[in-house]
């Protein structure tokens, strides 16, 4: 390991030459609120599935790795990877019951000649259900606010062909947690656009990763047989927000969709959050 001294990310719009690239903006501890939607098998209660909705309280801590990680080359020169570790903890916002814990890494990968590829970012994580994730993507910066498009929670796949009338009624008549609108059930990303309504966002750093085509999710056999996580897509937006008095603060928003397959149906598990660095 070649040591270096990673500095806390400079204010957005004035980044230093950190080897973390745009990932440097993640460094620190973020906390805030969000929402979670997941359909889970419900065989033990003699129904096909149960739709679970939660308002969430969340905390993510990002810490820079204290040195370069060398990847040795046999068909090209070595490359050096820099990154951050993270720990994500999600609780139900009402009961404070733990819903999710996830340790992992974000990596800044330089361009390579063999394979021929541009610079990329990588997210790796492990989840105590018995899953391991690797997802790859890109980081870039844009002027103004994020482009947040709708995300559908509608189940799809061959298993939907012969479901009985009213099968998806839980999606239409939900027992909503505090702060959640019925319209969020159809499009969870609306919670993100509502959270920034009226804000003046100066610029946005976009971190977008997916487990397909590069990467994947590895699961223990029980998950593969009963509720198989097959793919992940996630976008993180780091936003510089200007207050009316001209001062600024930084907030982190994200949307994540994991597809769970059971009963020959693909069920979107969608999580969204809006956080402030503390």
| Strand-pair partners of 57 | 33, 91
Asked if the structure places residue 72 within a domain, the reply is: yes
Contact call for residues 264 and 49 (beta carbons, < 8 A):
no
> Which element (helix H / strand E) includes 172?
helix 169-172
Is residue 168 included in any domain, yes or no?
yes
The overall pTM is greater than 0.85: yes
Please report which confidence band the pLDDT of residue 174 belongs to, taking 50, 70 and 90 as the band edges. Answer: confident
Confidence of residue 33 (pLDDT cuts 50, 70, 90): very high
Would you say residue 17 lies in a domain?
no
In 66-183, the DSSP E strands lie at 67-71, 79-92, 98-109, 112-113, 116-117, 120-127, 131-143
Q: How many CA atoms lie within 13 A of 135 on its CB side?
A: 26
Mean pLDDT of the chain: 93
Question: Does 150 score more than 50 pLDDT?
Answer: yes
Cis amide prior to 115 (ω within 30 degrees): yes
Report if residue 96 sits inside a domain. Answer: yes
What are the pLDDT digits (tens) for 215-260?
Answer: 999 999 999 999 999 999 999 999 999 999 999 999 999 999 999 9
Question: How far apart are alpha carbons 269 and 130 in whole angstroms?
Answer: 16
What is the domain extent for residue 128? 2-12+22-277
Closest-CA residue to 251 (of 91, 21, 34, 96)? 34
CA atoms within 13 A on the CB side of 159: 15
Which CATH number does the domain housing residue 51 bear? 2.40.128.20
Total number of domains constituting the chain: 1
Pairing of strands 116-117, 265-277: unpaired
């Amino acid at each position: 390991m070649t040591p270096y001294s990673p500095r806390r990310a400079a204010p957005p719009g004035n980044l230093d030459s950190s080897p973390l690239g745009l990932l440097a903006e993640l460094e620190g501890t973020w906390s805030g609120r969000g929402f979670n939607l997941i359909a889970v098998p419900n065989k033990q209660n003699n129904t096909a599935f149960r739709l679970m909705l939660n308002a969430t309280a969340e905390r993510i801590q990002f810490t820079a790795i204290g040195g370069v990680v060398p990847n040795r080359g046999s068909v090209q020169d070595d490359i050096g990877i820099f990154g951050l570790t993270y720990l994500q903890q999600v609780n139900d916002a009402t009961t404070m019951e733990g819903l999710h814990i996830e340790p992992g890494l974000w990596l800044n990968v330089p361009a390579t000649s063999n394979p021929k590829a541009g610079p990329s970012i990588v997210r790796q994580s492990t989840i105590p259900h018995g899953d391991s994730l690797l997802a790859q993507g890109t980081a870039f910066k844009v002027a103004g606010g994020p482009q947040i498009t709708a995300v559908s929670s509608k189940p799809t796949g061959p298993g939907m062909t012969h479901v009985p009338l009213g099968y998806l009624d839980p999606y239409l008549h939900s027992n909503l947690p505090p702060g959640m609108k019925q319209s969020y059930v159809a499009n969870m990303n609306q919670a993100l656009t509502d959270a920034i309504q009226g804000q003046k966002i100066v610029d946005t750093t976009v971190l977008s990763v997916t487990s397909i085509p590069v990467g994947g999710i590895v699961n223990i056999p029980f998950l593969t047989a009963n509720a198989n996580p097959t793919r992940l897509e996630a976008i993180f937006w780091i936003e510089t927000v200007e207050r009316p008095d001209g001062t600024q603060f930084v907030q982190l928003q994200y949307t994540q969709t994991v597809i769970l397959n059971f009963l020959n149906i693909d069920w979107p598990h969608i999580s969204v959050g809006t956080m402030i660095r503390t």
